[in-house]
Structure 1
């Protein structure tokens, strides 16, 4: 399509005579094209001058296909020598600026195409200047060790495009913000200092090529002040120095600047590596709501410094920095990206409109707000372009005079200045309306009245570590009334306040968390709910408050992903870091978030105890499955790959049965098959037995070692052959032999719940088949019931049970699980869960159907009591010793009206279950 066929609008000449004069020179063009030329020239002396200077070129360009014009100017620049480059770049700038302006004014190109064309020119100018200048330094022997071919990568120097250039959004008369760095790893010793001096010269000369005003004009004003500590550092520094600066003293505004950063000239690959090293600095893993306050403070400082506060008046209004301006939309977008982009790479879009779209897609802002702000952003940018096109001035201010505003109105195609003013003011006010409340939440109302005792507790908060900074106190002042109001609505306000006090006292710092509360009031309700119900959980939460990120991270209330989804998510997270220790610590943070999710869903009645138990088990399985290859790879790096077929990791006990509670440890065993190979092959080879023993210990350490984010799980490996005395990893042959000839009945009972989690699948399939056959064979033994009865008697002698005790004692969980395993063993059935094992026992005549229901009834109630107690961090719930909120939670879980009623029900069911188990264990002849 031609230029003329794409026209959708026209400017109106503010100076009709100037417009007519310019159009006359292009009398051979279509009338609608001459109309755009007349409107542009009649509003902009700068564009009128360019038309006269480039008339022949412009006539040909307007007749050509629009999408080919840009490359037609950029491509030939690659053949230009250094001496001729300044003039060639200035000619390209004149032509592209002229064509882009007419394409913009006529609606031939959308905003993104206009800004993209200007950015493409800037990229080309920076890259060619930098490489030509480095080539000259190499020719002069000023870059040690570099050959002529190294000019293709600029000897390791790179220019990072920042700001609007980095985003591909350069405005019409824009500075280009650059940070120049060099890869110091290409140089050593004194060579690095010599190279540094050369790169400083290159940077200065490049800036002169781009910025100096000559008879041919200029290319781009270049600004190098975004580099680290610009007041004291040279214009080009090493990547190592820059990385050290950002890691130690980098500020929020610098993080925001790097959202848009990209390599634009020189060694692009080295530039990409550098930006990847800054990922932890720019994109914090935890939701960073404190960035809101930083952005708000920055906005206010800019307004005060520029004198931009006060009511919106169109005359002299700053379209970039003023109220409702472009920067408001950019800050709104970038701040939200900083908040959540560390957890979600999809939010790391460099462009403003792209960032808004991504934020809406992930639910961080409403889609209609994203659409409206995108439209307002484009309209603001078009007005900004008209302001700059008048005289090629780097300005964002509306004219201060009525005549000047008339000119801009005509430039925007409006013949009614009053209407133009009204529409523009409406847009500015709408931007302010959509963004201001996000940055500047209102002052909090006064909180509820407190008793003297409560007031004493609240007064003590000011001494806590979380409230020692002025900034933390300022934010907390806004959220405190909401916190207190919700505490007063708890079942027992005194208990809830005391528990919240414990939570607050344990916080090491407060800015991030209080900012989180400020932006998400629903979290206050959640914390108060936890404090009022589970004080111990609240205290634990104060030491692990980062898990609250998960609540607002987008998936907290999504459907449970299951083992496959969890493994996929954790594997992707772990792949983002290289260091082994960091992988382990990241896994801990990830697990805690999901663990917290399960607990909150259970606490709030979104899931029941049985669904929570399944989720805890699936989470633990996912951790083991995802970490195993990480551990194996790290171990193989030192000692070589696993000999033979390698190992299989089995879950035993409750993990094998697929039901854990909030405080469960993991029962694991490791079985390996070296397939006759005696040692590993690696940098430090190990004998096979030692290899798998140490690999197993490495897995245990990966799960249990304390790190900055705590532990994952406690691990129990006593269910392996020979218990504590046996090797921590067992060979496949030894495992088969032991189970067939040496194992006790209790070890066969334990095997009824064994399940492969990860490792060699062929070996796992053999273990599965062997388990089925072994259970079928060993369950026929004449001594099974007697062995179990003896073992049960010893267990009950030490654990008499009573009250709300759910786990130990006659007819309680361990007793019922023992009976269920006995049913599965005698029936020779591979079932693992209590319910399925009892069902198998009933089918095989080990127990009667009525007895199955008796045991199930007791088990279901006791599991609810135990799961609730473990969530509340109370191993044995005591109705008289726990708070009102916690007691209410247990009663709700169990469907009981009073503590007395629940106690009576537990007693009745456990007595009945105890009787059934006694009968089953003593019935040597079967119960058909």
Structure 2
């Protein structure tokens, strides 16, 4: 806040409804202060607010002193005086508190009306004072109990308030208190601070303390009151005392907590007493408040609350300013708060940046994240400020907790004057227009276009005319939904929601090449859901999702099955960047690490990693199916997801393992990615080929509770890392891992020392093992160790050996695989093993790199090299004929695209005769063909051209190879 004097910061002033009363107020103040620039503010305030008129006259001397400088020091002094109440005599506490509140009221009133403080500053001043007043009262009454020996005399107990803490709820929690606000508080205490046999007595004492706080602050005396205290937000207030144990409260919210209580805890803040205990409680309650999935069912709950409020207040009809409640009525403050809080409940579980307690700050965060449009946000923010300031004017007149516009014309004139308007009709027209704009935005959110207006089931469509070739079969599926025969539709609410969605679903499915197949797949999706309300609520609020799910069901049985197994992947679709290109491994690692950091439990972290990876793979699969990403981008995307999982989990596994066996010896371990992960060409179903290398730096054993020899440490750590990636948790498996490419294969240890790796590559490695290294790259571990691993891979590839050895070794391996995979090579859609397929082309690329490296050819992509990259480099170096490279590259490109699409669209083998139109459409989309027969011919021609080159470069072992 600025340090400028009060008068120099004035930007506005109210008008005096009663000029004579205004003159009286100015006369009282000016007797102690010569500041004519304050006169319009004081006369306008005193002439329109009887309450502030009385305070100005009563506190004129104090006020005159305060107004000579900035108001902030006076506010800080008032707060300090409230906290010091704890040390005052019992008989003096009530008077000190009430005097402080009077002075706060007149200071805040003038600062607000004069524009010295904006809305946020005014509400923060009221809220901070409330915290100080409650803290002073609470500490004073606790001190009385300690002094009487009714609570422990332990100094730590006194300092920690005996584990008692207050949660500021509602506007107090958000530091948004209104001018004459109640304060909503929940008082709890930490049972663990007390002996079990003393629990009942301690609770009884603390209940009396809380009751005493409420009475001290709320009871009217000759000097008024401080704050009305509302304790009814506590768990089950009709049967529980005003202070209960935090464990009891936690159990209540976990088992019985409702949506409105979740919304209330968005603003909850540990404000008084044992703040550390309060913050610990709120931390434990986060899973209750912030669901890990997008919670669109909260919209219906919030809408129901709105309707109950309207029914109770009679606010469902047209807006009429006389008698309108600016908080609870249509277009009012609560509409804006519901709009923001409901969005927070929906999205805040996934994005902690959206959890701000403040309404305006949360609205800004939601807008920045793309959940609220900028135009709507600007309208709501401006309306919120104006609504809240009007609320303050209504309350300033008589210090009454009211938000209702008066009906009498004279009273409305007074409100207009206090608000600075001379024309009451224009003033009320401005309010009406603002209310109607808010109402329009809120209604669009809570009742989106096309939402079902009644619980009546949709009429059965004419399925035959809608394109379903087996209408009886389709009708049977829909009847199962309606009758609650699947878990997703067992509840009445779920069936009601689905009834309204049926027409949209069937409309979307009829657009598929085979509506019957698409409906069957959609049924599998629904049947896999454990419950339906959340998903159907999501569909209701986002109808475009129905279209996308229908498209996925038509094109990709695999993705549809993934949806049924984990409907939370739908959450990813609603992210604003869902159809944007996937970021690289660095950004994905950072994102996943942030997700993992929100969990303290190791097992939960493993679940989170799986949930995150499912969403990301789903996003990449949809982008590929829709043609947003091509095959190369999909390969990079799937690889970046896997790399992020390794990089994010590696330090967590290391820390968990080190907790038992001490830190890793030496420089620790590094993970070397092989195969498709190494070259950045993974598909939706690829497993991970990995090698773990370590450098113990001469350290023989770890230093920990259960120390291990260095080889044993790294061997068991590797097994723990494999388990973290492959174990089936509640969220399933993350990846399958293949470690057969490690030195000596299955006979070798699961972790290899870096020196051992170098020796093995120099002395014993087979040609095919060195070929595999052309795709290898380190992805996790200390940066300096990764550099040394990268260098070791380069050294292994550049070992001086006859170039012909690379070609003959590759030819021998090709022949062995051809013999072992005879059946697979007959399948025309087997992209990898077929003659002229991906593996043949990759063998040429790898053998070519190995031969060139052995002869010292410069500028080769050694390590992490994909086949296209390797072929291009070999052509540029003059080591492969351009015509041969063109044939190989063309066949590799087409088959890679088809492989990526098949891995996303299908769960098993592919046969055009039985696959259905969905997967076929996916292949046609990625290839650019219009008929599957034409695609098969094109693929065969490309493969034959590639096979001719491969046969020449990698002939059967009995023939002589090209020698490099």
Range class of TM-score, shorter chain: over 0.9
Residues 170 and 773 of structure 1, relative CA distance in 2, 3 Å threshold: closer
Residues 141 and 892 of structure 1, relative CA distance in 2, 3 Å threshold: same
Q: Residue 463 of structure 2 aligns with which residue?
A: 450
Q: Residue 894 of structure 2 aligns with which residue?
A: 861
Alignment equivalent of 2:557, drawn from 506, 525, 535: 535
Q: Deviations over 1:623-643 (max 9, x none)?
A: 111111111110000111112
Q: Report if the CA contact (8 A) 2:803-2:850 is conserved.
A: no
> Which whole-Å CA distance do the structure 1 matches of 2:873 and 2:45 have between them?
87
Q: Report if the CA contact (8 A) 1:779-1:827 is conserved.
A: no
Q: Residue 879 of structure 1 aligns with which residue?
A: 912
Q: Residue 645 of structure 1 aligns with which residue?
A: 667
Q: Report if the CA contact (8 A) 1:174-1:394 is conserved.
A: yes
Q: Residue 475 of structure 1 aligns with which residue?
A: 497
3-state SS of paired residue (2:422): coil
Q: Deviations over 1:674-732 (max 9, x none)?
A: 23333222111222222211111111110011112211101111111222222211223
Q: Residue 857 of structure 2 aligns with which residue?
A: none
Deviation at 1:824, TM superposition (A): 1.9
Query: Which segment drifts farther, 8-17 or 425-434?
Result: 8-17
Query: Which segment drifts farther, 114-123 or 579-588?
Result: 114-123
Is 1:833 equivalent to 2:866 in the alignment? yes
> Which whole-Å CA distance do the structure 2 matches of 1:787 and 1:121 have between them?
81
Residues 26 and 910 of structure 1, relative CA distance in 2, 3 Å threshold: closer
TM-score by length of 2: 0.92
Deviation at 1:497, TM superposition (A): 2.0
> Which whole-Å CA distance do the structure 2 matches of 1:471 and 1:316 have between them?
36
Residues 120 and 884 of structure 1, relative CA distance in 2, 3 Å threshold: same
Describe how 1:740-759 pairs up with structure 2 within 5 A.
Answer: 740-759=762-781
> Which whole-Å CA distance do the structure 2 matches of 1:204 and 1:805 have between them?
77
> Which whole-Å CA distance do the structure 1 matches of 2:803 and 2:330 have between them?
85
Residues 868 and 387 of structure 1, relative CA distance in 2, 3 Å threshold: same
Q: Residue 352 of structure 1 aligns with which residue?
A: 359
Q: Residue 806 of structure 1 aligns with which residue?
A: 831
Q: Deviations over 1:392-427 (max 9, x none)?
A: 211221223333223322222333333333222222
Q: Residue 890 of structure 1 aligns with which residue?
A: 923
Residues 137 and 724 of structure 1, relative CA distance in 2, 3 Å threshold: same
Q: Residue 374 of structure 1 aligns with which residue?
A: 381
3-state SS of paired residue (1:25): helix
Deviation at 1:375, TM superposition (A): 1.4
Describe how 1:19-98 pairs up with structure 2 within 5 A.
Answer: 19-28=22-31, 29-31=34-36, 33-80=38-85, 81-83=88-90, 84-98=92-106
Q: Residue 660 of structure 1 aligns with which residue?
A: 682
> Which whole-Å CA distance do the structure 2 matches of 1:532 and 1:145 have between them?
72
Q: Residue 14 of structure 1 aligns with which residue?
A: 17
Is 1:723 equivalent to 2:731 in the alignment? no
Deviation at 1:583, TM superposition (A): 0.9
Q: Residue 135 of structure 2 aligns with which residue?
A: 127
> Which whole-Å CA distance do the structure 2 matches of 1:772 and 1:61 have between them?
76
> Which whole-Å CA distance do the structure 1 matches of 2:346 and 2:7 have between them?
45
Describe how 1:192-591 pairs up with structure 2 within 5 A.
Answer: 192-442=199-449, 444=451, 449-451=462-464, 452-453=471-472, 454-462=474-482, 463-591=485-613
Deviation at 1:585, TM superposition (A): 0.8
Deviation at 1:443, TM superposition (A): 5.1
Deviation at 1:784, TM superposition (A): 4.1
Is 1:736 equivalent to 2:758 in the alignment? yes
Q: Residue 467 of structure 2 aligns with which residue?
A: none
3-state SS of paired residue (2:578): coil
Residues 136 and 900 of structure 1, relative CA distance in 2, 3 Å threshold: same
Residues 911 and 195 of structure 1, relative CA distance in 2, 3 Å threshold: same
Deviation at 1:927, TM superposition (A): 6.4
> Which whole-Å CA distance do the structure 2 matches of 1:441 and 1:860 have between them?
45
> Which whole-Å CA distance do the structure 2 matches of 1:778 and 1:927 have between them?
15
Residues 424 and 845 of structure 1, relative CA distance in 2, 3 Å threshold: closer
> Which whole-Å CA distance do the structure 2 matches of 1:842 and 1:403 have between them?
91
Deviation at 1:891, TM superposition (A): 1.6
3-state SS of paired residue (2:818): helix
Q: Deviations over 1:312-349 (max 9, x none)?
A: 22222211111111111111111111111122222122
Q: Report if the CA contact (8 A) 1:679-1:685 is conserved.
A: yes
Residues 443 and 766 of structure 1, relative CA distance in 2, 3 Å threshold: closer
Residues 736 and 176 of structure 1, relative CA distance in 2, 3 Å threshold: same
Residues 885 and 34 of structure 1, relative CA distance in 2, 3 Å threshold: same
Q: Residue 183 of structure 2 aligns with which residue?
A: 176
Deviation at 1:42, TM superposition (A): 3.1
Residues 25 and 674 of structure 1, relative CA distance in 2, 3 Å threshold: closer
Query: Which segment drifts farther, 163-172 or 730-739?
Result: 730-739
Q: Report if the CA contact (8 A) 2:169-2:184 is conserved.
A: yes
Q: Deviations over 1:778-806 (max 9, x none)?
A: 65265444443333222112232332221
Q: Deviations over 1:487-531 (max 9, x none)?
A: 222233222222222222222211111111122222122111101
Q: Report if the CA contact (8 A) 2:671-2:779 is conserved.
A: yes
> Which whole-Å CA distance do the structure 1 matches of 2:121 and 2:799 have between them?
76
3-state SS of paired residue (2:78): helix
Deviation at 1:560, TM superposition (A): 2.7
Query: Which segment drifts farther, 449-458 or 579-588?
Result: 449-458
> Which whole-Å CA distance do the structure 1 matches of 2:907 and 2:189 have between them?
58
Query: Which segment drifts farther, 613-622 or 821-830?
Result: 821-830
> Which whole-Å CA distance do the structure 2 matches of 1:833 and 1:34 have between them?
80
Alignment equivalent of 1:818, drawn from 817, 824, 843: 843
Q: Report if the CA contact (8 A) 1:341-1:347 is conserved.
A: yes
Q: Residue 117 of structure 1 aligns with which residue?
A: 125
Give the unaligned 5+ runs of structure 1. none
RMSD value, Cα: 2.2
Q: Report if the CA contact (8 A) 2:807-2:962 is conserved.
A: no
Deviation at 1:69, TM superposition (A): 2.7
> Which whole-Å CA distance do the structure 2 matches of 1:651 and 1:287 have between them?
34
Q: Report if the CA contact (8 A) 1:648-1:759 is conserved.
A: yes
User: What count of residue pairs does the alignment treat as equivalent?
Assistant: 927
Q: Residue 165 of structure 1 aligns with which residue?
A: 172
Is 1:619 equivalent to 2:641 in the alignment? yes
Residues 16 and 736 of structure 1, relative CA distance in 2, 3 Å threshold: closer
Residues 88 and 898 of structure 1, relative CA distance in 2, 3 Å threshold: same
Query: Which segment drifts farther, 897-906 or 23-32?
Result: 23-32
Deviation at 1:100, TM superposition (A): 1.5
Query: Which segment drifts farther, 839-848 or 474-483?
Result: 839-848
Deviation at 1:844, TM superposition (A): 6.6
Q: Report if the CA contact (8 A) 2:636-2:681 is conserved.
A: yes
